Structure formats: C-alpha cells, structure tokens
Structure 1
C-alpha cells in the first residue's frame, strides 16, 4: 500500500517522522506492507520515507516574508501533483503546511476523488482565520481530520469536518527524554551552572528579526548572572555560520549543539525562544520560558490595518488553555530590555517558577494520553482500501 505524505518546515519534518514510525509499526501488526513517499526532510527520510522534495527549509511566517518562497513552494507543489498523477497512491496524508497542501488536497478531490485524504495537524485556522474560505476548502477535500488540540477539533467539527481527536504527538516524544541529571552529565553541564537555551530560529527570516533581540538579552543576563551559560540547538545546519558569527559579535559564552535538542531541554533551567512547536517541548519538560516573535514592520502593519487580524496568543502553550502561561513578547514588545526583564523574573522568583510548573501541568492534561502517534496511525490505516 502506497501512502503519500506532504509536509514542510522543521516542525513538519519532525511530526512526519514520528507518524511514519507509528504507521510502519501499526502496518506490521496488521500484516500490511507500506511504501511511503513524501514531501518532507531528513528526519522523515531516516524514518523510512522516500523523499520527493526536501521542504524542511521552505517556509515562512508572514506576508512579505513568504515572497522569496513563492516559487520554491509552487515548484514543489507541482512536483508532488505530477507524481500523484503518474502514481496514484492508496492514501494521502497532509500535515500542516497550508499553502502547498491546499493545492494538493484540492487536486486530489478534483482528479482522484476515490483516494482518501487525511489531514493530521490541520492549519491553525481556528486561531487566526479571517474568513472560512480556507476552512471550507480543507473540510471539502479531507475525509478524516486528526486533531491534536481540543479547540482545533471543536472548530473543524463545527465547520463540517469528520474529526477524530488523537492528542498531541509531542506527548509521546517527550516520554523518551532523559532525566535532568543524565542530560546534564551527557552535555557536560556542571551542577552550579545556570543552563539557558536560546532558540532564535527555525526559519531564515527569524535570524533577522529575532536573533538580535534575543542575543542582546543574553548579554545583559550574563552580566547579572555570571554562572549562566547559553546553549543554542541548531534547527537547520545552514544556520550554523550566521549563529556562530552572531555569538562572536555579541561576545556571548555560548555552545552550539546539533542533534541534541532533547538532551538540552531536559538539562536547561530556562529558555528564550521563538514561538512554535518548540514551546510545547519545553513545557512538557518543565522548562520556564519567554516566547518572542517579530514579523517585518510591513507585514505587521498590513495585518493590523488592512486585514485587521488579531490572535489570542502566539505560543501553542498559551493557545492550549487560552490564557497566558508563558510570557509572550511580540513585535514592538520584543526588545532586549523586555526579554531581560521577563527572563530575570522567571530565573530569580521561585514563586513565579512554581506557578509556571503548575500551569504546565494544566496544559499537559489538555494534550491527551500517551500513544498519540499510534492512535493517529491506526485512524489513518483504517482509511486504506483493504
């Protein structure tokens, strides 16, 4: 049975790889042999998929920011559709990656309507949709929507989708995280060292808009806390050179890591991070964090004054419970000074840290029970025409 999976960006590659492992495990249990072809990245390839196009670095957030990726995105979308036309699969699974997946899903409905389509981790229309047009398109071509957030499930069900809530896959992933003691020993972090994770970018635009403010804050924090050391996990190897150069420019005592993000999170005392899936990973390992995000001034102005958009929160940690668990500093508020102030409060105020840990437990209860990836895989395999 051939399954085609389409996703993009760093987080999609991670989620896709977790799903592929579960699909293979559940297929073996059922005596089904799978061939998985995908748009994705290195993690999905390592999990056993044949990658048609590497999309882990094709992605952006914002209107102006997306312009450099329009042609690469259209190219990979056309490549996928050409493959589907020549090699109709038994099943299509779409993971987030709204732009290309809208095109692929629409193609499937119009040209291969008998091939079932599952949407796993649907676009966050429930957070920032300004019309139901794209929601209706998603519902129209999706046979089964596997929701990871309760509010996501409620939104799409209310708009006519066939929804199954499976929970969030990071609940599974964090089960394999090492203890704090083991992680710190593995990374060579002394007991007395304050280990602070800096996560400025998983998209190239974020190096420009987020890294300066985050590194400015790190400079100030180091002057206030001499025992602090900064650790920076690479989301893409292509970011090593610009991040290394920035460490030298800002005179930071920082260590770059590759492939050891989970160990770092288990070992860290605190994190300054961009908004994204990584916020949930940190929360599930009880790491207090300050969340930062900025878009280009042009994009922000268009969103506020023309599209008149507003979102309740940027971080998924806060979106899960629809209230502020972790501080968010967005756009003009995302300054080195503000980041430092929020960071020092969490680093030095025991009551504030304890409240964060308590709130994390509330959030955790909203993400479902362990076994998310297997539940998702079972739901998907039930759609195969066996």
Structure 2
C-alpha cells in the first residue's frame, strides 16, 4: 500500500513515525510519502517537506506567512494527485489538514484517514461538519472522544489506545537508573527531592509560565531542589533570563528521567500533564493567559469543556488542580504545592485519580492497533472495489 502522511509539528512527527513502523510490520509493501520530520524520515520513505515549513503558530505569524501556507497547501494537493496513494493519513494539525481532506474528497476517490483527532471538542466544534463530510475514518487516542463523536455527533470512530501511555510504559520498563545516578549524570545535588517545572515547549509558553512557577516553587527550595525540563527546540541561554537569581537547574532531553525521580511537578497544560500522571507524580497545572478575567469569562460561557488538562478530561472530573487565567497566581501555586508536599490526603487522592485515568485509557499498543485497523479497512475497500468492477 502507498501511504501519504501529513504532520505539522514535532509531536505529530513522533506519533506518525511510530505509526509508520507499525504499518511496516503489518504491510511488507508499505511505501511512504510525507510532510513530516526527521523521525519519520528515519523510518523510511520520501519526505516532501519538513513540518517546520508548515508550522506557524499564532494569529500574527500565520497572517505574515499566508502566501507560504497557501503555496504549501497547493503543492501538497498536486503532489497527492500525482502520486496516487492508497490512502491519505492526516495527523492532528487541523488548520492545514482539514483543507487537504476537503480537496481530496472533492477531487479524488482516495480515502482519508485521521490519526489523532483535532481537539474540536474544546474549540471550533463546528469543524465536525467538515470531518463527517471529508474524513472516511477517525482513529482516536483519547477515550472521552468516543462519546463526543459517536454519542453527540453520530460519527463512528476507532479508539486505538493512547500512544503517550505506551511511550511512558516502555520507558519505565527499560529504565533502571537510581536517583543518585540521575543526579550525578545531570550535575544535580542528591541531597533533596525534586520539584520538576515543565513550562512548555514554545518560547511564549515558557515566558508566560516559568516566572510564576519559579517564584512559587522557590519557597520550598530549603527542602526541595527545583529542576526545569528544558525544551529541545529552545536555545539553552533562553532560560537564563528567567532562572537568574534562583537556585534552579535546567536539564535537556531528560523529561522522562526527570519525572521518574520527581516528588511533585508544576506543569503547563498539554501532553505533559498526562505524562506526569502516568509517572505517578502529583502535579499542579499552571497556564497563564492574556487578559485573564476575559479568558475566565470565556471558559465559563463559551469554551465547550470544563477542563484544560488531559488528566481531568479523561477522568471527567478534577483529579489535578488547574490554575488558569484569573486563578494562575503565585500564592495559589504555593498553596496547592503545600497540599501535595510532603504527603497527605490531597496527594493520596490524586494518585488514586491517576489509577482511574490509566484504567480509562485501557488498550495498549496504540500505533499497532491503528495500523492493523487501517490495513484491514484498506484491504476491505480494495476488495469491495474489485467486486464492483
């Protein structure tokens, strides 16, 4: 089978590369052509463009690069038609990918599969019309999306399990370093437990969240050491302006080992909240927003979901505290940390909630499950097509 895959950011590159490996394991003739990154290229196939040529975040950058964005989209459409894949697989990145899906549906008979749904349950729910019209099969990695798509919108999907859960489980199964060994490898003192600070992977997120995280966590610096998980795409000296004056360390490409040895964590919303929960580290979700009172109003009246962290969304209740918009203050962070350190009822209750999240995630082997389902569907479609001839 010929697979045309489109991702638009680093996380998509990771998840798509693992899906590609799984597809190769069930389809010896798998041939890949893709918009993607270095991880996908390492698996094999032809990279048409790097995702960095697509990834513009925020209103102003998108506006400034509209010509490039439209040019890339037009090129992608032409390339799909010229290559004639057996399927187009889209990975998240809805602004670009839903435009491609619309074109493919309107101008070809190539099936469109979506791996990792856009978060339309949180924002832009109207996109469900486009998905129902243009996407043949949706492969979901979040269990609560079943009720959203199938229950609310009568659109059947495939829940395949969560790849982040697989990645954490695989890491823990092969990781044996001690706390002393981790500290020695990263030039950290081994005399105090760790409070991990996961402030995001983009400059703006770090700028918005890390200062308050540091100020709050520093009040516990007499008993705990503060360690920032440095984002791999951020220059090391970018953190200096925020860490100056604090007793804090920054480690790079060590997020999983860091979480494996942390006593508590302050985490910016995103996949990191789920990773932290799967490592069993009590956490506080911290997310600074512009004009916080307005955002707080929008959360109450317009935004479709009650929570912003994957942990709480999966559980359907508040397992971890979310300090967002008008509740994102240094004092609130300090107070919540005090409830988790060193032990106590709040900590135990959160760990019980983590166990519930793991149970709800359920199925293991998300990329394998998705690959097997995709190939089964494609072979069925090919068989039906042959019978109709």
- Fold match (TM-score > 0.5): yes
Distance 1:178 1:117 in 2: 35
Given that 2:286 and 2:324 are in contact with CA atoms closer than 8 Å, whether structure 1 keeps it comes out as yes
Further displaced range: 177-186 or 289-298: 177-186
Distance 2:128 2:162 in 1: 21
Of residues 132, 135, 149 in structure 2, which corresponds to 1:156?
A: 149
Matched, 1:375 2:372: no
TM-score by structure 1 length? 0.86
TM-score by structure 2 length? 0.85
Distance 1:336 1:49 in 2: 49
Which residue in the other structure is 1:84 paired with? 80
Q: Structure 2 vs 1, CA of residues 375 and 7 (structure 1 numbering), >3 Å: closer, same or farther?
A: same
Distance 2:163 2:299 in 1: 36
Distance 2:278 2:323 in 1: 21
Which residue in the other structure is 1:11 paired with? 11
Q: Structure 2 vs 1, CA of residues 70 and 274 (structure 1 numbering), >3 Å: closer, same or farther?
A: farther
Which residue in the other structure is 1:288 paired with? 282
Which residue in the other structure is 1:201 paired with? 200
Distance 1:323 1:372 in 2: 24
Given that 1:233 and 1:256 are in contact with CA atoms closer than 8 Å, whether structure 2 keeps it comes out as yes
Q: Structure 2 vs 1, CA of residues 63 and 378 (structure 1 numbering), >3 Å: closer, same or farther?
A: same
Distance 2:135 2:293 in 1: 30
Which residue in the other structure is 1:20 paired with? 20
Distance 1:322 1:304 in 2: 20
Which residue in the other structure is 1:122 paired with? 117
Question: Highest Rg: 1 or 2?
Answer: 2
Which residue in the other structure is 1:38 paired with? 34
Distance 2:66 2:218 in 1: 36
Of residues 118, 125, 140 in structure 2, which corresponds to 1:147?
A: 140
Given that 1:139 and 1:161 are in contact with CA atoms closer than 8 Å, whether structure 2 keeps it comes out as yes
Which residue in the other structure is 1:254 paired with? 249
- Any unmatched runs of 5+ in structure 1? none
**For residues 1-386 of structure 1, what are the structure 2 equivalents within 5 Å?**
1-27=1-27, 32-48=28-44, 50-55=46-51, 58=55, 60=57, 73-112=69-108, 114-129=109-124, 131=125, 133-158=126-151, 159-178=153-172, 182=177, 184=179, 185-188=181-184, 192-222=191-221, 226-248=222-244, 250-258=245-253, 260-297=254-291, 300=294, 304=298, 308-384=302-378
Distance 1:107 1:350 in 2: 55
- Any unmatched runs of 5+ in structure 2? 383-389
Q: Structure 2 vs 1, CA of residues 230 and 88 (structure 1 numbering), >3 Å: closer, same or farther?
A: farther
SS class of match (2:117)? coil
Q: Structure 2 vs 1, CA of residues 252 and 24 (structure 1 numbering), >3 Å: closer, same or farther?
A: farther
- For the aligned residue pairs, the C-alpha RMSD in angstroms reads 2.9
Given that 2:299 and 2:306 are in contact with CA atoms closer than 8 Å, whether structure 1 keeps it comes out as no
Q: Structure 2 vs 1, CA of residues 233 and 19 (structure 1 numbering), >3 Å: closer, same or farther?
A: farther
Given that 2:123 and 2:304 are in contact with CA atoms closer than 8 Å, whether structure 1 keeps it comes out as yes
Distance 1:308 1:199 in 2: 28
Deviations 1:332-384 (A, max 9, x none): 22122222221222123322211111110011111022222211111122233
